[in-house]
């Protein structure tokens, strides 16, 4: 792992949602959200699993895309797979005191949280122990991640293995996945920039769905039939603003003029993230895959999510999410409405 300077660097982060391959990012987010142990930092809202349970018991009141990430043009963004490492964490072939075959059988259906692996004892009982960071599988450059300690790790396996070994310490509690890629200087987000962010994000979400719809015209499977019918109305509207590098003034004008085209994309993204469990509340962990993927290109996303949590209870309700994106409240009986 390598330590990087956060300040004083000449490398500035450019706002570039438009530069991300929508389909590739969707694949990566889908894989990342398959595990309930997603963990991402930098927002200052780190929580333990027990805190998540307590919070969930608390009642909440009522652009043409390039094919690769900037700076990593030789590797597609979708090549980074959390599923590979998640599967690896489910069991460890090198269990202590047992043959390899016996170990596999004992640990095959035994799940350990991120950063831990299964080891079977001499009686064949599976246990979770910390992953040895040095034993993590080799990774490619595009699989590197930046931790909240501002160190670049070879991959999430190494990062969470390190975090596990520091369990019970202040350093361990504060260590989380900050963002995908090598650590670099992330400039502070200004008031003006955070006000602009939802304009780009709304347009980006709309273009994601348009690209999914176009892909489904040839090969179905990304969107459900109900989703395709909703996106079809946007796709066939001749007033739709096509993807492109648009100034914020045009994005604002289009949002005001064609407001109805942006409502469903905002709802859709919320429900894509709201998975563990589906409760119309987004936890820090549920936001992690999206936030960590976009931080290197959209440095305001962390502050944006912080400010979306209006009541500061570490959860973003659907109503708060829609308010952040400028979507009006609707009738509660209609699924997906902001109520």
Query: Could you tell me which residues come within 8 angstroms of residue 87 by beta carbon, excluding any fewer than 6 positions away?
Result: none
**Pairing of the two strands 2-3 and 281-282:** unpaired
Q: Is the pLDDT of residue 84 over 80?
A: no
Are 256 and 248 in contact, with CB atoms under 8 Å apart? Answer: no
Q: Tell me how far apart the alpha carbons of residues 58 and 284 are, in angstroms, rounded to a whole number.
A: 15
Per-residue model confidence (pLDDT) at position 221: 80
Q: What percent of the chain has pLDDT over 90?
A: 56
Q: How far apart are CA 229 and CA 151, in angstroms?
A: 45
Q: What is the pLDDT of residues 107-116, one digit of tens each?
A: 888 899 999 9
Q: What is the pLDDT of residue 196?
A: 94
- In angstroms, the CA 287 to CA 285 distance is 5
pLDDT tens readout for residues 246-261: 999 999 999 999 999 9
Crossing angle for the helix pair 191-218 and 301-308, nearest 10 degrees?
100
- Contact status, residue 179 vs residue 145, Cβ threshold 8 Å: yes
Q: Look at residue 201 in the predicted model and tell me its pLDDT.
A: 95
Confidence of residue 121 (pLDDT cuts 50, 70, 90): confident
Q: What is the pLDDT of residue 61?
A: 40
pTM of structure: 0.68
- Look at residue 133 in the predicted model and tell me its pLDDT: 96
pLDDT one-digit tens code per residue, 163-175: 999 999 999 999 9
Give pLDDT tens digits for 216-249: 888 768 899 999 999 999 999 999 999 999 999 9
Q: What is the pLDDT of residue 96?
A: 37
- CATH numbers and ranges of domains, the chain: 1-80+186-339 (1.10.238.10)
């Amino acid at each position: 792992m390598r330590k990087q300077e956060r300040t004083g660097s000449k490398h500035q982060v450019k706002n570039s949602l438009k530069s991300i391959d929508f389909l590739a990012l969707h694949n990566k987010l889908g894989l990342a959200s398959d595990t309930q142990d997603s963990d991402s930092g930098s927002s200052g809202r780190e929580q333990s699993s027990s805190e998540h349970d307590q919070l969930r018991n608390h009642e909440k009141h009522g652009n043409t895309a390039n094919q690769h990430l900037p700076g990593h043009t030789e590797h597609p963004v979708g090549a980074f797979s959390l599923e590979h490492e998640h599967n690896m964490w489910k069991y460890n072939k090198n269990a202590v005191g047992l043959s390899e075959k016996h170990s596999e059988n004992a640990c095959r259906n035994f799940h350990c949280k991120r950063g831990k692996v299964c080891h079977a004892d001499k009686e064949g009982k599976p246990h979770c122990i910390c992953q040895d960071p040095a034993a993590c599988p080799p990774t490619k450059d595009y699989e590197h991640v930046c931790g909240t300690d501002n160190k670049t790790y070879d991959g999430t396996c190494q990062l969470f293995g390190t975090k596990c070994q520091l369990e019970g310490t202040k350093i361990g509690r504060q260590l989380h996945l900050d963002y995908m890629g090598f650590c670099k200087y992330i400039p502070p987000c200004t008031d003006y920039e955070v006000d602009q962010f939802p304009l780009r994000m709304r347009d980006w979400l709309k273009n994601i769905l348009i690209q999914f719809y176009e892909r489904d015209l040839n090969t179905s499977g990304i969107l459900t039939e109900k989703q395709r019918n909703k996106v079809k109305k946007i796709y066939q509207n001749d007033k739709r603003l096509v993807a492109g590098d648009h100034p914020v003034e045009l994005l604002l004008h289009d949002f005001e003029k064609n407001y109805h085209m942006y409502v469903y994309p905002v709802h859709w993204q919320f429900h894509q993230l709201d998975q563990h469990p589906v409760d119309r509340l987004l936890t820090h962990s549920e936001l992690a895959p999206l936030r960590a993927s976009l931080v290197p290109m959209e440095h305001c996303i962390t502050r944006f999510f912080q400010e979306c949590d209006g009541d500061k209870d570490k959860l973003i309700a659907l109503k708060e999410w829609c308010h952040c994106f400028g979507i009006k409240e609707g009738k509660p009986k209609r699924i997906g409405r902001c109520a």
